[in-house]
Amino acid sequence: MTAAAPNYELIQQDGLETSLLEVSMGPHHPSTHGVFRMDVKLDGETVVDLKPVFGYLHRNHEKLAENMSYLASMPFTDRLDYFNSMTNNWAYALAAEQLIEIEIPERAEYLRVIMSELTRLVNHVSLVGFFVNDLGALGTPLLYAFREREKILDLFEQASGARMMCNYFRFGGLRCDVPEGWLDRTREVVDRFPKFLDEYEKLLCENEIILSRTQGVGNLSKELAVSAGITGPMLRASGVNYDIRKVDRYGIYDRFQFQVPYSKGDVGDCYDRFMVRMLEMRESIKILNQALDGIEDGPIMGNAGKVFKPAKAESYGRVEAPKGELGFYLVADGTPKPYRFRVRPPSFINLTVLRDMCIGQQVADAVIILGSIDIVLGEVDR
Amino acid sequence: MSILGSGIFKGMAVTLKNFVGSYFDKERLTTKEYAWRTDDKLPERAGDYPKEEAEQLRDTTTVTHYSRNFPMLLHDKGEPMDTVRCVACQICERECPPQCIYIEKSKDKKERGGNKAQFYPATFDIDVSVCMSCQICVEVCPFDAIVMNSQFELSTPDRFGGLLLRRDDLLKSNDYYHKIHPEEAAARDKRIADEKAAKEAKKKAAEAAKKKAAEAKAKAEAEAKAKEEAESITKPAESTADSPSPPPAEPPVEPDRPKKEGGTE
């Protein structure tokens, strides 16, 4: 399935001494969104071959988690994808909750949905900002995105005490209840958000420069996307209707009316990936409105004991993180520590098709193709 | 398809709207004010903050009272070490995911705030360069002794010792806690008071029950004695000497019941 590098023996014609140019982009290149390196072979401006090199941010997350209690790994999951600590928490809590019998109170379920949809807004809005930043629109759209993101981060801070490393979910519920008036403030932010999205779409979606830079660039076929295990908005941009919120209906997602935007065509280019995220934000707002209507007072923590010591079992918990399917695989051996702790990071697996998408494109396009994948190196390297 | 470039002009209209709007609408501003420290001198250590607590509070007004930064140790009214709540049980040290807490238990016990004598932390260090603000120490502490501070201006020129907060740097009064996190502190104080009241009520109930039980026991004993005497008159006792007195809460033994059974029950 992978694209083959074209035959470039013809380069040495007309007596000219030419050869492929090997460029190392990164690990400290601003376009690579962190410490990530692309070994690019170039023929002029065209990418002939590309090798992603990563692992610079490896910090032994899985092995660390095997040497500490189940609860102690929770703050470390925040640091996987540091834009979306809430969904990371949820995936891990889901996996651990399968190991023991545990009842999750209604209010906690609603707050989980609210938190994870707010997270999706944060992620998509800043991804679009970064993506346009990669296209050369330095600053302006990104700053607008960050301005809105800041309002949601304030909400996170009010609920959990931290803006990004929230560490808010617990096995069987949440760490603490939201403060008084939090739901009203959330409602204000959610109500204002569509107006911002209208403006943002006006700013970006019809811009001719964006259209010509992104349409037909970095095509990813449906077949390749499915066989490479791509998930999330990237898979939906390639025309596959697959969303774990709809497939698994984890938590209480079966109660909400929302649609899953996916591309009707089979192109799967950068513009599709950009638009799928813009549309997904609208759906997130729908879910948020329903959840804010439905939430009621009540306890936020279930019957979980102080010591978390599951019997011998295996579990896999997955959620639709903003970047794709985030899964945690746990093997319990009857001790307070997991025997095996494995993360299925969406960014990492989505990154595997980078070479196939980049071959034959210009070197400047490789930058925006990488930007459209939406990676966070904390999650890729773990 | 409209004329070429109209999309760009539409976008520019949006940026213009945002630029002009930022003068009138706070929601369009992209920046937030930061309260800069007035003197440019950095303290040698993170604990040696050059200002008084009240000044720090004024300085960190941009930090909302929801902010949680690094842990601190609470003490009640009075001398910090005389009223510190920590009893050096070392649960936080054990549970801390990045292992940034170091505690040494005291050799002797000390009485604090009318409670019975307890150990106290001889050493209590938190390395804030390692701490990841996860608040698990706050969660696991059974004595409400460790809570989160919101002091964030902790930069020092010394990256080793300078970022190690010692026990005396960590000790903060409950009043300070009320100032930085009013809602949480009020809720915590209420819970502590409730727990204390519940404990006292339980203690009182237990005492009352004990008293009642003692009374019942005395009564039962008296009755048993009276019956014994009565029985010893009617017929000579066979086993009264080796059978113990009946349990205190039990009703008096039925007269027609064999004596032995009542004793072993």
Q: Domain holding A358: CATH number? A: 1.10.645.10
pLDDT tens digits, one per residue of B188-222: 888 888 888 888 888 888 888 888 888 888 888 88
Is A306 among the domain residues?
yes
pLDDT for position A11: 53
Per-residue pLDDT of chain A (382 residues; tens, 9 = 90+): 455 555 555 555 566 666 778 888 878 877 777 788 888 888 888 888 888 888 888 888 888 888 888 888 888 998 888 888 899 999 999 998 888 878 888 888 999 999 999 999 999 998 888 888 888 888 788 888 888 888 898 888 888 888 888 888 888 888 888 888 889 989 989 998 998 899 888 888 888 888 888 888 888 888 888 999 899 898 998 888 898 888 888 888 888 888 888 888 778 888 889 889 999 999 999 999 999 998 888 888 877 666 777 888 889 989 999 998 999 999 988 888 889 899 999 989 998 898 888 888 888 888 889 888 888 888 888 8
Distance from CA of B153 to the nearest CA of A (A): 16
Q: Do A208 and B4 touch (CB under 8 A)?
A: yes
Residue A89 contacts B, CB cutoff 8 Å = no
Q: Which helix (H) or strand (E) holds B153?
A: none
- B233 or A92, higher pLDDT: A92
Q: How far apart are CA A195 and CA B31, in angstroms?
A: 20
pTM for this entry: 0.79
Residue B47: pLDDT band by 50, 70, 90 thresholds? Answer: low
pLDDT for position A88: 92
pLDDT tens digits, one per residue of B48-65: 665 555 555 555 555 677
Q: Mutation test of the interface with chain A: which of B12, B22, B63, B66, choosing the one with the most A Cβ atoms within 10 A? A: B66
Residue B148 contacts A, CB cutoff 8 Å = yes
- Is the pLDDT reported for residue B263 higher than 70? no
User: Given B4, B66, B139, which is nearest A158 (Cβ)?
Assistant: B66
Is A264 among the domain residues?
yes
Number of domains in chain A: 1
pLDDT for position B260: 45
Give chain A's length: 382
Q: Which helix (H) or strand (E) holds A44?
A: none
Sheet of strand A338-344: strand arrangement: A313-321, A324-332, A338-344
**Residues in a beta bridge with A319:** A326
User: Given B4, B6, B68, which is nearest A161 (Cβ)?
Assistant: B68
pLDDT tens digits, one per residue of B150-159: 777 777 787 7
Q: How far apart are CA A372 and CA A233, in angstroms?
A: 10
Is A37 among the domain residues?
no
Beta-carbon pairs below 8 A across chains A and B: 79
Is A135 among the domain residues?
yes
**Residues in a beta bridge with A221:** none
Bridging pattern class, strands B171-173 and B71-75:
parallel
Residue A301 contacts B, CB cutoff 8 Å = no
The candidate with the shortest Cα–Cα distance to A324, out of A10, A24, A80, is A80
Is A43 among the domain residues?
no
pLDDT for position A329: 92
Which chain A residues contact residue B30 at CB under 8 A? 143-144, 146-147
Q: How far apart are CA B117 and CA A246, in angstroms?
A: 58
The candidate with the shortest Cα–Cα distance to B67, out of B164, B171, B152, is B152
Helix, strand, coil share of chain B (percent; to 5): 45, 10, 45
In B133-232 the beta strands, taken as DSSP E runs, fall at 146-148, 164-165, 171-173
Distance from CA of A129 to the nearest CA of B (A): 14
User: Do residues B151 and B51 make contact, with C-beta atoms less than 8 angstroms apart?
Assistant: no
Is A309 among the domain residues?
yes
Q: Which residues of A276-290 are buried (b: 16+ CB within 10 A; e: fewer)?
A: bbbbbbebbbbbbbb
CB-based contacts of A316: which residues, under 8 Å, 6+ apart? A95, A98, A327, A328, A329, A330
Residue A59 contacts B, CB cutoff 8 Å = no
Task: Establish whether the linkage from the previous residue to A27 is cis, with ω within 30° of 0.
Answer: yes
Tell me, letter by letter, the H, E, C secondary structure of A64-118: HHHCCCCHHHHHHHHCCCCCCHHHHHHHHHHHHHHHCCCCCCHHHHHHHHHHHHH
Q: Write down the mean pLDDT value for chain B.
A: 75
Is A29 among the domain residues?
no
Cβ atoms within 10 Å, residue A10: 7
Q: How far apart are CA B178 and CA B147, in angstroms?
A: 11
Residue B258: pLDDT band by 50, 70, 90 thresholds? Answer: very low
- Longest Cα–Cα distance of chain A, Å, equals 80
Is A190 among the domain residues?
yes
User: Given A72, A140, A150, which is nearest B136 (Cβ)?
Assistant: A72
Host domain of residue A302: 61-381
**Residues in a beta bridge with A40:** A23, A50
- Is the pLDDT reported for residue B257 higher than 50? no
Q: Do A73 and B139 touch (CB under 8 A)?
A: no
